[in-house]
Amino acid sequence: MHPVVPIPFLDRDHAILAFNQRVLDWARRAAVPLLERLRYLCIVSSNLDEFFEVRAEPHLIAALRKQHQGAFSVQSFAELSRFTHDMVEHQYRLYNEAVLPALKRQGVEIVAHSERDEAQRRWVKAYFEREVRPLLIPIGLDPAHPFPQVANKSLNFIVRLTGRDAFGRDNDIAIVKVPRVLPRLMRLPEKISGGRILLVSLSSVIRSHLQDLFPGRLVGQFSQFRVTRHSDLAVDEEDVKNLRTALRHELAQRHYGQAVRLEVAAACSDHLANYLLKQFDLTELSLYRVQGPVNMARLTQLIDLVDEPRLKFKPFKGSWPTQLNPGQSFFERLKEGDVMLHQPFERFDAVLALLREAVQDPQVLAIKQTIYRTGSDTELMDLLREAVRQGKEVTVVVELKARFDEEANINWAEMLESIGAQVVYGVVGLKTHAKMMLITRREGRQMRRYAHLSTGNYNPSTARLYTDVSYLTADAALTSDIEQVFVHIAGMNKLPRLKRLWLAPFHLQHRLVEKMEALGLAARQGKEARIVVKMNALTDEALMRALIRAGQCGVKIDLLVRGACMLPAQVPGLTDNIRVRSIIGRFLEHSRVFYFRLDGEESLYLSSADWMNRNMLRRIELAWPVTDPVLRQRIVDECLVSYLNDGVDAWDMGPDGQYVRVDTAAAAIKAGAQKALMQRYAAPAVVVKGNSAWT
């Protein structure tokens, strides 16, 4: 193939923030139920927290402290800061000018101190004295009481006092740390709510009683504040004898990493804001003045406190998988052929049912499984625990470094080890991100394997919120490969040649590039070539260059990238043949599907991996082929075609890298892919067969 024409990639951090702008758009839509609009505001806040915790710290060091020549300059950090400040300002404007007034019209209100009547103020006063005050210890600052350690994302108050303290000194700054055990919102009793749903925020309760915490002195200036700290754990795996112990030590320090962002109330005085910036060694660029709670993500409590179905999405419960009959043995069904589950439209319960049958079946001798994120739901762990009690050989690969799930995974690992399961922590230097379960069963004089592979995690909670594809198979070649991967991870032996699986970091990236190179060569020879890829992020330079080369050779390429995409689309003369589309819907798009077609001959792979450098080179990831033509066509129709035709929830990237929401009025199909799938699976579904019309 001819060399690719150079093209600059888009900035990754701006791409991440642009994704959050698209999420924020859901909070703007009047057709979305009010409490769901608030939920999207909270999701954006949570996403921004993680962005700062993980992404901001290296930039601060490189841009603001070392200030050396490099890929990330002081100027680009300033541009990123302006972008983020504008988005946060827009977020709080939506909160104050759209969502809160609309909730008030529906009889739901967060009541400020100035708006409370006398009965409500008495209740708040009693609540403060009974529940809050006993947990607060105001800290006056002087040489003997230096600025206290403030935990990551915790709620705090800074107060400027007038007068002198009990010892006649004029130290004027105090800090009030708010314990995390206290709820951030409380609902007022019905008898003093006047027929409405009234709530009070914890920050408002404390603010209205700050003076009570400083008898003998007057409270002058004050502000709530919150600091975000760098929270990515740094453990040198090559230099530790026990990764689990080292991670436990790091977890204890996570809440007190380097400060990267400071949030204060909009009315915070310059004096107090500058004082805090100096304490946390931050610049003005890292200061965010917000017109509302500094911890907006915690407002999800309001959604839980308000039991008003009319203000929420209509509950959706996926159907039982269309390829499975309730009560039928999974093992007997899989002997007939592979089975696909499209979550959450079909229920993840079926995966747990497979494991449950394996645990209870005396012919099942061994169960192997990877654990990346399982959440707090114990059903899956209870099943693995029961399998050990039943005398089965249970091997669990636990990824201890799953970001922000480290502690839960350490606890699960210790529990499983304590009862006799074989627990493996993966390969040094690599995260085990592959999602796989392998069941070995004695059938007569033979051993037969059954497997579950997935684009998503073994987490029953997120399985109701994320779109993913689960794949059940008894294919001998595929299950043999999965067995080899488990043996490789546990024994760290040389990996034998695999028949079906593509495995990172060994050959997944290389095989993908090979596929695209072959299609590009065929397209130059006048053959019809097509690539459609669905993933969460596209930031790997080798794969982006391969896509550009293929597109410049004439391959028609559609990229369904939910989040960050660094590949600019539709640039005249460079990426004319590449379209990039992002779908932001009620559910979080999470499935990874790779489709290739050459003159009518199709191949399709499902995968645990996004097209990111870390997934290709620093993780254990899987991609596996779907060879059953009926299942392949179903995945094409449901996971690709429907999203390429989405006329409601789609955003298309322009040549400038900016996204524009699809024009519903002009769309050929005036429906959202997710809504169509929800409707399809609300009743018994039929597997779609036949060819699909790509657009």
Could you tell me if 574 and 502 are in contact, meaning their C-beta atoms sit under 8 angstroms apart?
A: no
Distance CA 469, CA 379 (A): 20
Residue range 161-172, pLDDT digits in tens:
886 665 556 678
Task: Classify residue 251 as exposed, middle or buried by CB count within 10 Å of its CB (0-12, 13-18, 19+).
Answer: middle
Q: Average pLDDT of 434-442?
A: 95
pLDDT digits (tens, 9 = 90+) for 261-275: 999 999 999 999 999
d(CA 342, CA 93) in angstroms, rounded, equals 37
The predicted model gives 316-330 an average pLDDT of: 92
Tokens of 164: 């002198």
CATH 3.30.870.10 fits 330-497, yes or no: yes
Does the domain at 12-237+255-311 match CATH 3.90.1150.10? Answer given as no
Considering the segment(s) 503-682 as one domain, its CATH architecture is 2-Layer Sandwich (3.30)
- Confidence at 376, pLDDT banded by 50, 70, 90: low
Tokens describing residue 472: 């059940």
Could you tell me if 458 and 405 are in contact, meaning their C-beta atoms sit under 8 angstroms apart? no
The tens digit of pLDDT for each residue in 186-221 reads 999 999 999 999 999 999 999 999 999 998 888 889
Looking at 306-460, which runs of residues are DSSP E strands?
339-343, 364-371, 393-398, 422-424, 431-432, 435-443, 446-454
DSSP letter assigned to residue 365: E
Question: Residue 389 burial by CB count (10 A; 0-12/13-18/19+): exposed, middle or buried?
Answer: exposed
Residue intervals of the chain classified under CATH 3.30.1840.10 are 12-237+255-311
- State the Cα–Cα distance between residues 296 and 49, nearest whole angstrom: 10
Please state, in angstroms and rounded to a whole number, the distance separating the CA atoms of residues 360 and 366: 12
Backbone angles phi, psi at 517, to 5 degrees: -65, -45
Cα–Cα dist 163/146, whole Å: 20
- Selecting among 433, 452, 488, 590, the annotated active-site residue is 433
Residue 683 has pLDDT above 60, yes or no: no
DSSP annotation of 196 reads S
pLDDT for the residue 63:
47
Distance of alpha carbon 630 from alpha carbon 628, whole angstroms: 6
CA pair distance 519, 551, nearest whole angstrom? 9
CATH 3.30.870.10 residue ranges for the chain? 330-497, 503-682
Strand, coil or helix: 422:
strand
Is 433 one of the catalytic residues?
Answer: yes
pLDDT tens-digit profile of 137-155? 898 887 667 888 898 999 9
* 491 and 470 Cβ atoms separated by less than 8 Å: no
* Mean pLDDT computed over 447-454: 97
User: What are the tens digits of pLDDT across the range 363-372?
Assistant: 999 999 988 7
